[in-house]
Amino acid sequence: MTITANWSYPTAIKFGAGRIKELADHCKAVGMKKPLLVTDRGLAPMAITQNALAILEAAGLGRAIFADVDPNPNDANLEAGVKAFKDGGHDGVVAFGGGSGLDLGKAIAFMVGQTRPVWDFEDIGDWWTRASVEGIAPIVAVPTTAGTGSEVGRASVITNSQTHTKKVIFHPKFLPAVTICDPELTVGMPKVITAGTGMDAFAHCLEAYCSPFYHPMSQGIALEGMRLVKEYLPRAYRDGADIEARANMMSAAAMGAVAFQKGLGAIHSLSHPVGAIYNTHHGMTNAVVMPPVLRFNRPAIEGKIAAAAAYLGISGGFDGFYDYVLELRSELGVPDKLAALGVGTDRIDEMAAMAIVDPTAGGNPVELTLTSAKTLFAACI
Ligand SMILES: [Fe+2]
């Protein structure tokens, strides 16, 4: 089965196996003559990245790459990337990779046009209106995992290397002009990354679906996104070359990011401090903390989850859904506790204090207090 389509929601999406070959055309269409491809260190030497550079070079766009990007991209990576962009005389960014490459690439394209520090554009109130729009470079995004959904998002998560906190940086111009979703690029993903990124997509859909805010469009997208994960993540995990499964996971990832305009919740509020302090994989961390957060939220979401379970073909209402999450985790080799990811109990107080002020905490259906955050961390570790 071939899945190929052009969508204009929420941006121009060129979806289909093999469509990376159109990369240079889309760069040219948005005005790039000398793009900078931004990706992470691990991806830089890989064949999919070298092929993308070859496509750009063959079209006369050069083959410039910036790959000094940490798994949780930080302000130092951003500063170095902006310098590379300016020194190289570039005029656009190809944001290439998983969450790290995409988030940093988008942030570089934005910051090359700014004079204020990046923290002035944190996603608070109308801070984004402080930005100078003229100098922002165009972005073509190319996801190589299926989880973050950053390829359709208007924000990047950047870690402050001084305070070890993750900040959401927001501007409407972070939304890539064009996104190429080519599921063939995800075929080589190791099983553990397929599992972690897939569970991140699931967490986005689940938390958006459960958030108390009124956003029926996101609600519908979140529900169908969960269904795609249920049907296709185990398949993609078992057989990485299953293109139909990879394609549907790529859709689920984009849908999760569209849906979480409605809000995220405590899965992410707990996961962000853990990632910032212990550098754990974001999606895998979400998967570990998911069951305790579901139990914590149960009084507020029991009916909603029962409705989702019915749509997903899961019997037993909330309990059936909860058991399904446990089964999915074990099928994907997700550890039961954060201790298995190297997280200790010695920094619970600090992480709890960070969790309750995380921007996602406000979307949790049950209020996350310092006491409840500590109890949740203890249960997760
Ligand atoms: Fe996430």
In order of their start, the domains of the chain are 5-185 (3.40.50.1970), 189-380 (1.20.1090.10)
Per residue in 105-141, pLDDT (tens digit) is 999 999 999 999 999 999 989 999 999 999 999 999 9
Question: 194 CA to middle of ligand 1, Å?
Answer: 14
What does the mean pLDDT of the chain come to? 96
Question: 148 CA to middle of ligand 1, Å?
Answer: 6
Question: 232 CA to middle of ligand 1, Å?
Answer: 19
Q: Is the pLDDT of residue 206 over 90?
A: yes
Cα–Cα distances (Å) from 53 to 36, 48, 94, 241, 351, in that order, read 10, 9, 10, 23, 40
**CB crowding 292-319: b at 16 or more within 10 Å, else e:** bbbebbeeebeebbbebbeebebeebbe
Question: 306 CA to middle of ligand 1, Å?
Answer: 23
Question: 46 CA to middle of ligand 1, Å?
Answer: 25
Per residue in 182-199, pLDDT (tens digit) is 999 999 999 999 999 999
Q: Which stretches within the chain are classed as H helix? A: 23-29, 47-58, 75-87, 99-111, 191-210, 216-238, 243-259, 266-278, 282-312, 317-331, 348-357, 370-380
Question: 122 CA to middle of ligand 1, Å?
Answer: 17
Which among 185, 184, 221 has a CA at the least distance from the CA of 205?
221
What per-residue confidence (pLDDT) applies to 166? 84
C-beta of residue 368 within 8 angstroms of C-beta of residue 354:
no
Helix or strand or coil: residue 163? coil
What per-residue confidence (pLDDT) applies to 179? 98
Cα–Cα distances (Å) from 227 to 143, 198, 230, 259, in that order, read 21, 12, 5, 14
Question: 203 CA to middle of ligand 1, Å?
Answer: 7
Question: 100 CA to middle of ligand 1, Å?
Answer: 12
> Is cis: bond before 335, omega within 30 of 0?
no
Question: 273 CA to middle of ligand 1, Å?
Answer: 13
Q: Which residues are placed with Cβ below 5 angstroms of ligand 1, an ion?
A: 200
Per residue in 146-166, pLDDT (tens digit) is 999 999 999 999 999 898 888
Enter the pTM of the model: 0.96
DSSP state of 138: P
What per-residue confidence (pLDDT) applies to 1? 60
Please give the share of the chain, as a percent, with pLDDT higher than 70: 100
Question: 201 CA to middle of ligand 1, Å?
Answer: 7
C-beta of residue 225 within 8 angstroms of C-beta of residue 277:
no
Question: 62 CA to middle of ligand 1, Å?
Answer: 33
Question: 24 CA to middle of ligand 1, Å?
Answer: 29
